[in-house]
């Protein structure tokens, strides 16, 4: 699925949010699919259930998931929310590429980096 870096700079809830959001926007989690229970995720990752709950809350606010009381959380069929994530990611990528270009990074270096990232993601 994805990794959580407990010692990283990014907050754990943000890493979890980004990981689940990426699975949804890439289609690896599909509309109607049930997410693991908060306690189950917390136990698997060795983190506080409140951290997982915060991530699920933010995913719900973004329209990526919905919750049914006493049943769990499910992937939303809101294609607009997933599209918005992709648009946001592309904008960040464009900004980063502009900064890299302005810093003297070559197209070849950029292409090599993209290939490395894509090979790890598969």
What pLDDT was estimated at residue 105? 95
**Which tokens hold the place of 89?**
């990611």
Question: pLDDT confidence of 5, banded at 50, 70, 90?
Answer: confident
What pLDDT was estimated at residue 103? 95
Write down the mean pLDDT value for the chain. Answer: 89
The pLDDT > 70 percentage for the chain reads: 96
What are the phi and psi torsion angles at 31 (to 5°)?
-55, 130
Asked if residue 3 has pLDDT above 70, the reply is yes
Closest CA to 31 of 81, 89, 70: 81
DSSP letter string, 64-104 = SEEEETTTEEEE---HHHHHHHHHHHHHHHHHHHHHHHHTT
Cβ count near 116 (within 10 Å): 10
Lowest mean pLDDT: which of 24-33, 81-90, 108-117? 81-90
Question: What's the Cα-to-Cα distance from 26 to each of 1, 31, 85, rounded to whole Å?
Answer: 12, 12, 10
Q: What is the mean pLDDT of residues 7-11?
A: 88
Question: pLDDT confidence of 86, banded at 50, 70, 90?
Answer: confident
Asked if residue 118 has pLDDT above 90, the reply is no
User: Residues 51, 42: contact at Cβ < 8 Å?
Assistant: yes
User: What are the pLDDT digits (tens) for 20-40?
Assistant: 988 888 888 999 999 999 999
């Amino acid at each position: 699925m994805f990794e959580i870096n407990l010692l990283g700079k990014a907050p754990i809830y943000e890493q979890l949010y980004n990981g689940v959001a990426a699975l949804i926007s890439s289609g690896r989690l599909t509309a109607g699919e049930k997410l693991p229970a908060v306690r189950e995720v917390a136990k698997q990752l060795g983190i506080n259930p409140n951290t997982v709950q915060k991530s699920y809350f933010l995913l719900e606010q973004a329209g990526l998931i919905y919750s049914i009381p006493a049943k769990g959380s499910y992937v939303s069929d809101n294609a607009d929310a997933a599209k918005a994530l992709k648009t946001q990611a592309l904008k960040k990528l464009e900004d980063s590429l502009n900064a890299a270009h302005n810093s003297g990074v070559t197209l070849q270096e950029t292409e090599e980096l993209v290939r490395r990232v894509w090979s790890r993601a598969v």
